[in-house]
A = this chain, B = another copy of it.
Amino acid sequence: MLFVAEGEKTIHELVKAKYNFHSIFATTERLQKFENINCPLEEATTAELAKVSAFKSTPQMLAVCHQKKNEINYEEISNEISIVLDEIQDPGNLGTIIRLASWFGIKNIICSHHTADCYNPKAIQATMGAIAHVKIHYIELDRFLAHPIMQSINRYGAFLEGENIYTANLNHHSALIILGNEGKGISKTVEQLVSHKLLIPSFSNEKRVESLNVSMAAAVICSEFKRRSIPIQ
């Protein structure tokens, strides 16, 4: 399976991560930087790139690249922090969460089949190259979470009620951070497989319904887990 990656930064990261390229299209000047890659390099004008680009601002460079198929390594996941996504719809949110994961040293993201495609151009764009460094898996979440090794670690879900994340005990060595759909949150089936419900409290004094975007919630939760791993000064 192939996908299209746009922009020099993303393509550079894919090269570094040893992705397999089908072909790279770029303006003459940009192509020179990629001469050592073992894949067909094609010259293209800015006008041609604009025609095929998924974005309004034309990239100088566009690559057709082979998707990587990652095997789920349950042992690895059980010794780390990983993210589980239950039907994240918006490719921009997915891409932002992939970028976040990379920043926070999270190597695996496990997605339900109804989560947006990580190879969607908008998702790839939002990762800013981090797509190259995070292993993304698509699997039925009830099957994944019911796996004996996953059952042996803490499975934290982000809810609108639950334990205050700032004061809760968090296992920062080994955990699944589960995030739900933008509108509906975590599905009933997945909820039953969550071991700890976490809440990000609102600090607003007003009595109104506030909401936090799912990628913002991901940032707050990842930050809090990783903060706990810093040795006390």
Taking Cβ atoms with an 8 Å cutoff, the residues of A that contact B are: 13, 16, 96, 99-100, 102-105, 128, 130, 133, 164, 166-167, 200, 202-206, 208, 210-213, 215-216, 219-220, 223-224, 226-227, 229-230, 233
Contacts and interface: CB of A to CB of B under 8 A. Distances in A.
What secondary structure prevails in chain A residues at the interface with B? Answer: loop
29 contacts: A13-B208, A16-B208, A96-B216, A99-B213, A100-B216, A102-B204, A103-B202, A103-B210, A103-B211, A103-B216, A104-B202, A104-B204, A105-B202, A105-B203, A105-B204, A128-B213, A133-B204, A166-B227, A166-B230, A167-B230, A167-B233, A200-B223, A203-B229, A215-B216, A216-B219, A219-B219, A219-B220, A220-B220, A220-B223
A171 to B, nearest CB: 16
A226 B167 CA distance: 12
B219 A103 contact: no
A230 B164 CA distance: 10
Contacts of A230: 164, 166-167
Quick one: which of A99, A166, A202 has the most chain B CB within 10 A? A166
Contacts of A16: 208
